[in-house]
Amino acid sequence: MEQNLAMEQNWRHLPSPARPIAAAACVAVEAAQRRDEQALAAAADDLAALDPARTGLVLGTLVRVLLEDSHPAGLDGEAVRAVLERGVRSAAVWQPEVDPHVMLFLVAGALGVTDEDDDTPPPKPDVLARHAALLTADLLGPRPVPLFLEATFVEIERTQLND
């Protein structure tokens, strides 16, 4: 509980709708980095309870920021495959129910290459939140998530101002 309070205080500069998303995302990713199954489950539930459109925007942008950071020359099919394989394998060690299709859904969404004509329903919010935390933790490695969440909100603000 204290950790959540501390996290929310760190995000006071954000607009009020963004604060709980930032705090919950930070807790979820940090739990995934520590491989703390109970903390991840609780944080994924917290994320899933928030506005799905806003949460999806933040998590998708965070994944894209991390992909761009780790592949400054751009991503090709081989690099995307490597990201997916590493992310799934890393998560499967302690999260055997990890779904490669959900990871692909997240990466495709972050890169803006989703199939709009696909009639397949998207994964449930709690599944998306858990997998987003797992993918983000893998992309981050030991680096702290707040730094990249800050970059995420700057990117979202920049995009909204330019639209």
36: domain range?
2-162
The encoded tokens of residue 142 equal 């030991």
Distances (CA, A) of 125 to 59, 72, 131: 12, 30, 10
pLDDT for 4: 42
Check whether 6 has a pLDDT greater than 60. Answer: no
Check whether 153 has a pLDDT greater than 90. Answer: yes
Number of domains in the chain: 1
Once rounded to an integer, what is the mean pLDDT over residues 140-146?
A: 94
Q: What is the mean pLDDT of the chain?
A: 89
Once rounded to an integer, what is the mean pLDDT over residues 78-98?
A: 95
| Cβ neighbours, 10 Å, residue 143 | 12
pLDDT for 5: 38
pLDDT for 117: 63
Once rounded to an integer, what is the mean pLDDT over residues 23-35?
A: 96
Check whether 7 has a pLDDT greater than 60. Answer: no
Once rounded to an integer, what is the mean pLDDT over residues 113-122?
A: 75
Once rounded to an integer, what is the mean pLDDT over residues 131-155?
A: 95
Amino acid, res. 81? R
Give the three-state DSSP class for 74. coil
pLDDT for 113: 84
